[in-house]
Amino acid sequence: MSNPFTRNRLIGLALAAVIYAVDQWIKGYVTWTLKLPEKGKIDLLPFFDLTWVENYGVSLGMLTARSMEMRWGLVALTAMIALVVFIWIMREKLLADILGLSMVLGGAAGNIDDRMVYGFVVDYADFHIGNFRPFLVFNLADAAITIGVLIILARSFLSGEKPQAKAQAGEAA
């Protein structure tokens, strides 16, 4: 395992596996131990509650699965995206890029698992300031996907060469 690229990919895949496992454990805990589906809501802090939401769509309620065919269509679509992310991880070399992609992959796997088992994604995290809710109710997988995408975007904007630097390099040659 002396190859740093192989090591980085293994670290990334391990991170994806940990995110998936922790996400599924939390969802099981709020579903079965805390019995959140029966209670509907558990007040924890002045700004955070556990609130049961069955999410039949994807981000912001788009592509809501209203039938069995649509449910499995969403499973197939998200699985294809996860496969693309996995291939991207296998081609990537830099650890920072791999970590962002791995967060997306681990979160996607957690939500795909929910949709296959339950027909919906289990959401429970409800941040709020009084009655103002800056986010929809979400889960750890959603948070990992969002943070992973932000890392990927930030790295693409911050690590690329500036157009002016490219032009100067071209003139010098």
Question: Smallest Cα–Cα separation from 150: which of 79, 99, 82?
Answer: 99
The Cα–Cα gap between 76 and 115 comes to 10
CA angle (71 as vertex; 70, 75 as ends), nearest 5: 110
Please state, as a whole number, how many other Cβ atoms lie within 10 Å of the Cβ of residue 34: 15
Q: Which of 23, 97, 114, 142 is catalytic?
A: 142
Alpha-carbon distances of 81 from 59, 148, 172, rounded to whole Å: 14, 14, 41
Question: Smallest Cα–Cα separation from 75: which of 8, 131, 128, 121?
Answer: 121
In 1-128, which residue ranges form alpha helices assigned H by DSSP?
4-28, 36-39, 68-91, 95-118
Q: Which of 23, 97, 113, 123 is catalytic?
A: 123
Determine whether 123 is an active site residue: yes
> Do 72 and 116 meet the contact criterion of CB atoms below 8 Å apart?
no
Residues taking part in catalysis: 123, 142
